[in-house]
Structure 1
Amino acid sequence: MDISVPTISVNGIAPSTLVFGVLGLTLLAFIWGRFRYDLVALSALLGSVMLGLVPADEAFSGFGHPAVITVAAVLVLSRGFERSGVVDAISEQVLKAGERLILQLAVLVGTVVVLSGIMNNVGALALLLPVALRLAREHNTSPSLLLMPLAFGSLLGGLTTLIGTPPNIIISSYRGSVTGEAFSMFSFFPVGAVVALAGLVFIVLIGWRLTPKRAGSASTEGMFDTAHYLVELKVDEDAKANGMTLQQLRHELEESLPILAVVRDEQRRTGNAFYAALKPGDILLLEAGPEELKQLEDKLGLSVISADQEDESEEEDADKQVDTEGLQLVEAVIRNDSIMINRSVRRLRLHHQFDMHLVAVARDGERLKQRLRDIRFQAGDVVLLQGDEEEMHESLATLGCLPLASRELQLGQPRKLLLSVTIFALAIVAMLLDLLPAAVALSTAALVSLLIGILPLREAYQAIDGPVIVLLGAMIPVGQALETSGGAALIADGLLQLGSSWPIPATLVGLFLLSMLLSNVINNAAAALLMAPIATSLARGFEVSLDPFLMVVAVSASCAFLTPIGHQSNTLVLGPGGYRFSDYWKLGLPLSLVVMLVGIPMILWRWPL
């Protein structure tokens, strides 16, 4: 796709200056984080159209770009692997890692490196995250020692193949538009595999020692200690709550109290599924602090029959712990693209729209003590929810949450497992033999998977990461406007002048560092889109091969190891690992240096100047 824009000034302002202005505001908005990155990208696109930097009739051509189609197809295939049991079969073996921490790290990180090469790296992490938490719980290991290495391993694994990470897909498509020939499925493997192996060895032998040892949330009980927060309240004959439904009770209190269960006739029913009116003798099991308890007693006449365990004045209750089994509680982490971010439980209408109750919220590894109705959710928060087990998976997917609760591994049907692997293998063969372009081969594989029932159509649509698709579709024309306006050439000229007395490998180091820093504050796909035209202009300025410059961008754009916001994988482990923002660079910086020191010589060996 080629977007040609006349390089004429707008009200005396050169197009390159306008592009820099648009990109500068876009980067500031990405860093600020007030608005989701897909909305920021779409604003940049529409602003570019209005300024005449992108032709109006080409504004949405990016959504049909092969890179966007390939990313969507890979996301669907990744969900198909999960559904068919391919990854669970591998995860079952991972759980046999044993008690030694180094062995656990080697197996976990090694597995996610391999999986991230054949599926979306966020999907690979999401599948192994519950496995890592289960390992931590069973062997009494701090999850913080496992989760950050696991997240970084998913980024390293994406370097090995075309479909491992969006930057590889973008760089391949960009090369195709410039030279007429895109990178193939395994063009990235010689460099990516060596870099991933070096990173794996560093993490397992040295890197994990740079991660903090924190409690994290290896289990629901570990972080939330739910039973110690529960109280039992009885509905008396003269109680105002007598005859009320749970919804009416909450409305009366103007509170989002999580009523987890109602005990009637010695049978306990979960609160999210209890719609009958309360009657004398009913017992409510709920989470409540002293302030809420006073409201319940004063406004509704409910009487406490089992105080909080922490009340040391009642010795007879000191060893009593309310049973939380069967309450259908699930722990989940909020993703970067979740609809919950910056919204409260009341605004989300969790109970009405999703039939779920919010029980507790943890942030930075610690449970929040404020009222649930006052909490505005953030990416990386860990939430404890109650809901119907059969509908919970779909509701969490819609909300943009990743379940963390331990789950039994379901190996699926052997026939579907074999079919899933066969379909994917045929797509890879078609790509290797140049029978079909990557976008067509992978889209065909995704379609066949849907037609034969490996993945339901509804789950396929849920698997497609809408914000990432919008980001790519919107930023591709903006990135191309950087090149057609002459902006990329201006940046490259500046770098050429600065590095005129340096050897070309030194310029590649500068390009690597610039792209890496960019990927840590904005989405790595956006970093690749912006840096590809600059890399091309640099290669033309030096009059050398384009390939090593593009490969440097591909590798460095995936080195988002310094911050929790640089990549979704980093954000997903923030809450469960109990990490802080400043924890990431302690492992991420030396790992980035390892990748650069190994990667650039490998690139120059495989793709000589």
Structure 2
Amino acid sequence: MEASLVLASIVVLLALLIQGRLSPAVLFGSWASGYLVLGVVTEQQWLSSFTNPALITLLVLMLVSLALERSPLLERFSGALLKGNETLASLRLMGVTATLSAFLNNTAVVGTLLGVISRQRHIAPSRLLIPLSFASVLGGVTTLIGTSTNLVVNSFVVNAGLPALSMFEFAAVGVPVAVFCLLVILFSRRWLPRYQPQQHNAQQPYFLEAKVQPGAALIGRSIEQNRLRNLNGLYLLEIVRNERLISPVGPDEILEEDDVLVFTGEVEKVQALQAFKGLELFGSGAEQLLASNLVEVVISNQSALAGCTLQQVDFRTMFNAGVVGIRRGNKRLTGQLGTIPLKTGDSLLLAVGHDFTQHRNIDRNFHLLGNWQRPKLSNRQSMLAFAGFAAVVALAAFNVLPLLNGLLLLLAGLLLSRILTLGELRRRFPFELVIIIGSALTVAKALDSSGAAQLVAGGMRELFGGYGVFGAFVGVYIMTLLLTETVTNNAAAALAFPVGLSTAQAFGADPMPFIMAVAFGASACFMVPYGYQTHLMVYSPGHYRMIDFIKTGLPVSLAYSAGVIALVPVVFPF
């Protein structure tokens, strides 16, 4: 009875994850707490999930990556990648991205190259960004630390009492699959759209100007008193006063004679300004005034803005910036911008204040696409950080020093040398990821201890019994692939792992092929932008539609799956 109830609750969890209204952290955290309160798992099991060594390793690795992603070396090197014709540039870009993503956080790699590709004018960014994201995924599956998914699977392995996965345990399957799929991407990219760079920065009908006439009743009164903050579809973005730009405009700003008010939003709602006597409407050439003040950003997967509106978070105060426009994929969102719920991957066009990049919350919330750059490490700091990281990886690969120990020593060194600061660690600490993975481990324990995982494994045996253990292995892989295309990759691994392990036990087989089926299946997201964070990062900057991911990703997904299904049983026999 308990097994059936837990299984039913997992179905509800999956449905809510697919719906996407609540974050995975909230859902997994609630389910784990519910299992604890109901006695499905013990307090010791719940607490041990959050102190899992593999989870701590992932956490420290992400904190160390904060220093590596601030290095200017990758950005300087990236210019050479895009020289020559489009095919050679794509091949170089994907090869370097895959190689770097095998050892560095693939989000950081894509985030660095995203700005470079968006700014260059040689090749249409839409021809490069999906291949960039796909290559980062393929590079990540080749090593233990290449993607958080592999480390999450390792945390489940350790939690199940099995030997931890080694640094290059994935390589024998991951490297040939990655090389094969990169060649397939070169073929499938022919279906990518070709949005020329000049289209990306073409003047948009975002702006409307109005001048305060002499003697207007608005003069000497604040923005709030004049009721200029919440107009129907229009927002006061800037004030041009004596050739000086006031940005953003606070509610207490006092209007003066001859002020030029720059509005954004739905310019067809111009009638909203006709109610204000003494405002003279003219032109829409504010782009020239604002050109040096505009920056485009993409909402990151760590951002607190996802699911909120601009009004709810008081965007202007938080970032000293006003939102000029919002784009999701290839679609510019219209309506009252302040009331649109934001999503991870949305592109925002911002009119920013002079100290925009000095705000400490920029890195956590945005990937910058414009020429605004956050402070970078010096060459010496970069070399020290990368040399230290390479030493840690090498020592772990040769079993000289455990990976966690090495990363802790490196983190201490980065803090002592002031390459990283405690303030930066606090701002960028991945709380949500810790909650998701720790809670997912608890959910996995609930599936196992209640018998729900064994119940599903029995169903798998009934379904694939006629095809033997290989059929069951393929079934686990396909189940994980479908989950990762529907929910996030880490959530897919969390839900599929206990089923895969129980299926191996039901067939009396070695668990390693099934563990690898879950690990590679959870990273097999190529056809939808919402299942993997790097896909969301490139979705709006590339002006993509869902069909672009499907047309380009389907051949890659088929090649990837064929490679994994063929190689895993050879490298890891049943």
Over residues 280-301 of structure 1, what are the superposed CA-to-partner deviations in whole Å (9 max), with x where a residue is unaligned? 2232333365565433343252
Aligned counterparts, 1:480-519, within 5 A: 480-519=445-484
Distance 1:232 1:426, change over 3 A: same
Corresponding position of 2:122: 139
Corresponding position of 2:439: 474
Q: Are 2:280 and 1:295 aligned?
A: no
Identity between Structure 1 and Structure 2 (%) = 29
Over residues 482-512 of structure 1, what are the superposed CA-to-partner deviations in whole Å (9 max), with x where a residue is unaligned? 1222222222222223333324333322221
**Runs of 4+ off more than 6 Å:** 408-411
Q: Are 2:332 and 1:332 aligned?
A: no
- What is the CA distance between 1:110 and its match in structure 2? 1.8
- What is the CA distance between 1:178 and its match in structure 2? 4.1
Q: Are 2:1 and 1:20 aligned?
A: no
- Counterpart-to-counterpart distance in 1, 2:503 and 2:269: 64
Over residues 498-528 of structure 1, what are the superposed CA-to-partner deviations in whole Å (9 max), with x where a residue is unaligned? 3333243333222211111111112212222
Q: 2:165 aligns with which of 157, 164, 183?
A: 183
Distance 1:181 1:264, change over 3 A: same
Q: 2:114 aligns with which of 129, 136, 143?
A: 129
Over residues 393-427 of structure 1, what are the superposed CA-to-partner deviations in whole Å (9 max), with x where a residue is unaligned? 64663773322224579874221111101211222
Distance 1:60 1:328, change over 3 A: farther
Aligned counterparts, 1:122-521, within 5 A: 122-135=107-120, 138-141=121-124, 143-178=125-160, 180-204=162-186, 206-211=187-192, 213=193, 215=195, 218=197, 222=200, 225-226=203-204, 228-249=205-226, 251=228, 254=231, 257-272=234-249, 277-287=254-264, 289=266, 292-304=269-281, 306-308=282-284, 322-325=287-290, 327-392=292-357, 394=359, 397=362, 400-406=365-371, 412-521=377-486
Corresponding position of 2:93: 108
Distance 1:171 1:362, change over 3 A: closer
Distance 1:20 1:183, change over 3 A: same
- What is the CA distance between 1:167 and its match in structure 2? 2.2
State whether residues 295 and 371 of structure 2, in contact with CA within 8 Å, keep that contact through their aligned partners in structure 1. no
- What is the CA distance between 1:182 and its match in structure 2? 0.9
Using the size of structure 1 for normalisation, the TM-score is 0.87
Distance 1:26 1:447, change over 3 A: farther
2:141 counterpart SS class: helix
What runs of 5+ residues in structure 2 fail to find an aligned partner?
A: none
State whether residues 70 and 377 of structure 2, in contact with CA within 8 Å, keep that contact through their aligned partners in structure 1. yes
Distance 1:604 1:296, change over 3 A: same
Matched AA of 1:29: L
What runs of 5+ residues in structure 1 fail to find an aligned partner?
A: 1-13, 310-320
State whether residues 325 and 337 of structure 2, in contact with CA within 8 Å, keep that contact through their aligned partners in structure 1. yes
1:118 counterpart SS class: coil
Over residues 549-583 of structure 1, what are the superposed CA-to-partner deviations in whole Å (9 max), with x where a residue is unaligned? 21121111101112222111122222222223343
Distance 1:267 1:146, change over 3 A: same
- What is the CA distance between 1:57 and its match in structure 2? 4.2
Distance 1:603 1:57, change over 3 A: closer
Q: Are 2:120 and 1:120 aligned?
A: no
Range 404-413 or range 188-197, more displaced:
404-413
Range 476-485 or range 599-608, more displaced:
599-608
2:564 counterpart SS class: helix
- What is the CA distance between 1:545 and its match in structure 2? 2.3
Over residues 236-275 of structure 1, what are the superposed CA-to-partner deviations in whole Å (9 max), with x where a residue is unaligned? 2211221134454455654685444433334444344897
- Counterpart-to-counterpart distance in 2, 1:374 and 1:358: 12
1:170 counterpart SS class: helix
- Counterpart-to-counterpart distance in 2, 1:343 and 1:250: 24
Matched AA of 1:295: A
Q: 1:545 aligns with which of 510, 514, 527?
A: 510
Matched AA of 1:307: G
Matched pairs, number: 574
State whether residues 509 and 600 of structure 1, in contact with CA within 8 Å, keep that contact through their aligned partners in structure 2. yes
- Counterpart-to-counterpart distance in 2, 1:46 and 1:167: 23
- What is the CA distance between 1:152 and its match in structure 2? 1.6
Matched AA of 1:377: L
Using the size of structure 2 for normalisation, the TM-score is 0.91
Over residues 101-128 of structure 1, what are the superposed CA-to-partner deviations in whole Å (9 max), with x where a residue is unaligned? 2122212222221121112222221111
1:84 counterpart SS class: coil
State whether residues 330 and 543 of structure 2, in contact with CA within 8 Å, keep that contact through their aligned partners in structure 1. yes
- Counterpart-to-counterpart distance in 2, 1:533 and 1:170: 13
State whether residues 143 and 170 of structure 2, in contact with CA within 8 Å, keep that contact through their aligned partners in structure 1. yes
Distance 1:322 1:175, change over 3 A: closer
- Counterpart-to-counterpart distance in 2, 1:259 and 1:548: 59
Q: Are 2:32 and 1:45 aligned?
A: yes
- Counterpart-to-counterpart distance in 1, 2:27 and 2:373: 40
Distance 1:322 1:536, change over 3 A: closer
State whether residues 74 and 442 of structure 1, in contact with CA within 8 Å, keep that contact through their aligned partners in structure 2. yes
- What is the CA distance between 1:326 and its match in structure 2? 5.4
Matched AA of 1:166: S
State whether residues 423 and 449 of structure 1, in contact with CA within 8 Å, keep that contact through their aligned partners in structure 2. no
Matched AA of 2:11: G
Q: Are 2:12 and 1:35 aligned?
A: no
Q: CA RMSD in A?
A: 2.8
State whether residues 231 and 285 of structure 1, in contact with CA within 8 Å, keep that contact through their aligned partners in structure 2. yes
2:164 counterpart SS class: coil
